[in-house]
Amino acid sequence: MVLFRSVSALSKLRSRVVRQPSLNSTVRWLQIQTSSDLDLQSQLRELIPEQQERLKKLKTEHGKVQLGNITVDMVLGGMRGMTGLLWETSLLDADEGIRFRGLSIPECQKVLPTAKPEGEPLPEGLLWLLLTGKVPSKDQVDALSKELRDRATVPDHVYRAIDALPITAHPMTQFSTGVMALQVQSEFQKAYEKGIHKSKYWEPTYEDSMNLISRLPLVASYIYRRIYKDGNVIPVDNALDYGANFSHMLGFDDPKMHELMRLYVTIHTDHEGGNVSAHTGHLVASALSDPYLSFAAALNGLAGPLHGLANQEVLLWIKSVVDECGENVSTEQLKEYVWKTLKSGKVVPGYGHGVLRQTDPRYTCQREFALKHLPDDPLFQLVSKLYEVVPPILTELGKVKNPWPNVDAHSGVLLNHFGLTEARYYTVLFGVSRAIGICSQLVWDRALGLPLERPKSVTMEWLENFCKKANA
Ligand SMILES: CC(C)(COP(=O)(O)OP(=O)(O)OC[C@H]1O[C@@H](n2cnc3c(N)ncnc32)[C@H](O)[C@@H]1OP(=O)(O)O)[C@@H](O)C(=O)NCCC(=O)NCCS
């Protein structure tokens, strides 16, 4: 017994000291595989007490440290630059872009397990990373793939709820309805009604989160097949991983499209906590609403054109360029079209960002995918031309803080290339992926016992009076 304990302690110790030598110092500790490590929930059970202690220490030792000043501009300007949320799973740097638990996208592409050599990361690996802060082994990811497949059962009433909507209803409306219909199976709600102790909240939250993540591709692909493929639904393939299965159920079995879907789902998962969908999910969950209720609310935020719907808007806009100017549009024509868009009081979709001040690395990795797999695609070439034309024009406008492309500027042309041409559906794909980030953080919200979110609001009169006094 003593020997067993010391072997297991040794393996835990080793798991914290092994590093991937080729990566820079920000890369998290890599762990060595042990058989018990295959279970994600038991890993969390081990991690939670140490993170609870860490939060307690932060509160008691540094609770009164100031993080900056709040200005009137910030209050009137959508809270830009105001640090006000705890979000463990990822952190966004204005110049570098997103890091998932400390790992940049290129680092994730290097260290996360793939389906094939030199391939794109498996989204299950990112889910593991977001939940635990550790890079999983291929065996762990395979076990998680299987667990997600085993959980992927959708009751019939969900499909009937979707079918009650007109087929013309926006795919995001159908998706959000489907998620609300899934909610009747919430384990958290059941446990809460039975009077579960708050220290155990994270457990049914974990169950709901994993069930929700596993079921979303079924609901999402049902909607796609319902609207665009005469309702011919394609069942799960038990031999496939999460991303490939999703692509398969949508009706796309080109191995390159499977790779694209793995990459797509991986990079859209999480973008720290302040963006509209993540923040909405977190806010709603802070009222102890279960993951289904919280995520449905998040989806409704994602459905806005300044947020997730921008991926739909980009492809429609690119196609409108082609309709008006043809595929071989000249740089001059493109400049004119961009100005025409701006002068008609619209934004150039896919450009700009609330936090980023450089090209989004999610754009860059999609561009690399295109250069590798579809360099001659005419719409990809148009996207490349836009990269040269749009930023100087937005800079010339003088008010745009970030003239560079974001994630949505690129995703549509990749999907379009492999036959997923229906732009109105694109935000649903984003939604499937975003569940992975929001739910991972939600498990930690519950584990850390984060409180009800309730910032203070004020009126214009209050601000005027406050400023008068401040300037007196
Ligand atoms: C993402 C976005 C909403 C960020 O908004 P923000 O933080 O307020 O951005 P800024 O501070 O740079 O905005 C300042 C001004 O520039 C404008 N602006 C920003 N991006 C622009 C764009 N792509 N095209 C035209 N104008 C833009 C804003 O509309 C705002 O104008 P206003 O003062 O007349 O209201 C904004 O860049 C945008 O609308 N982009 C296009 C939609 C999109 O791609 N969304 C997906 C984001 S991942």
Written as six digits, the tokens of 411 are 């995703």
* Cα(347) to centroid(ligand 1), Å: 7
Three-state secondary structure string covering the chain: CHHHHHHHHHHHHHHHHECCCCCCCCCCCECCCCHHHHCHHHHHHHHHHHHHHHHHHHHHHHCCCCCCCCCHHHHHCCCCCCCCCCCCCEEEECCCEEEECCEEHHHHHHHCCECCCCCCECHHHHHHHHHHCCECCHHHHHHHHHHHHHHCCCCHHHHHHHHCCCCCCCHHHHHHHHHHHHHHHCHHHHHHHHCCCHHHCHHHHHHHHHHHHHHHHHHHHHHHHHHHCCCCCCCCCCCCCHHHHHHHHHCCCCHHHHHHHHHHHHHCCCCCCCCHHHHHHHHHHCCCCCHHHHHHHHHHHHCCCCCCCHHHHHHHHHHHHHHHHCCCCCHHHHHHHHHHHHHCCCCCCCECCCCCCCCCHHHHHHHHHHHHHCCCCHHHHHHHHHHHHHHHHHHHHCCCCCCCECCHHHHHHHHHHCCCCCHHHHHHHHHHHHHHHHHHHHHHHHHCCCCCCCCCCCCHHHHHHHHHHHHC
Structure confidence by residue, pLDDT tens digits, 66-116: 999 999 999 999 999 999 999 999 999 999 999 999 999 999 999 999 999
The pLDDT, as a whole number, for residue 187 is 98
* Cα(385) to centroid(ligand 1), Å: 20
Check pocket membership of 401 for ligand 1, CB cut-off 6 A. yes
Check pocket membership of 162 for ligand 1, CB cut-off 6 A. no
* Cα(427) to centroid(ligand 1), Å: 19
Check pocket membership of 343 for ligand 1, CB cut-off 6 A. no
The pLDDT, as a whole number, for residue 327 is 86
Check pocket membership of 352 for ligand 1, CB cut-off 6 A. yes
Contact 372, 411 (CB under 8 A): no
Q: What is the pTM of this model?
A: 0.93
Active site residue 373: no
Check pocket membership of 351 for ligand 1, CB cut-off 6 A. yes
Pocket residue to mutate for ligand 1, from 399, 404, 407, 430, most atoms within 8 A of Cβ: 399
The pLDDT, as a whole number, for residue 155 is 98
* Cα(398) to centroid(ligand 1), Å: 12
Active site residue 307: yes
The pLDDT, as a whole number, for residue 37 is 72
Residues of the chain with pLDDT under 50: 1-35
Q: Which atom of ligand 1 is nearest to the CA of 275?
A: 48
Report the C-alpha dihedral over residues 400, 404, 405, 406, rounded to 10 degrees.
-70
Active site residue 353: yes
Check pocket membership of 349 for ligand 1, CB cut-off 6 A. yes
Q: Which residue, by CA, sits nearest to atom 20 of ligand 1?
A: 352
Q: What are the structural domains of the chain?
A: 71-307+428-471 (1.10.580.10), 310-418 (1.10.230.10)
Written as six digits, the tokens of 17 are 């000291």
* Cα(173) to centroid(ligand 1), Å: 24
Pocket residue to mutate for ligand 1, from 74, 271, 341, 353, most atoms within 8 A of Cβ: 353
Choose, from 258, 353, 410, 417, the residue flagged as catalytic: 353
* Cα(113) to centroid(ligand 1), Å: 36
Check pocket membership of 310 for ligand 1, CB cut-off 6 A. yes
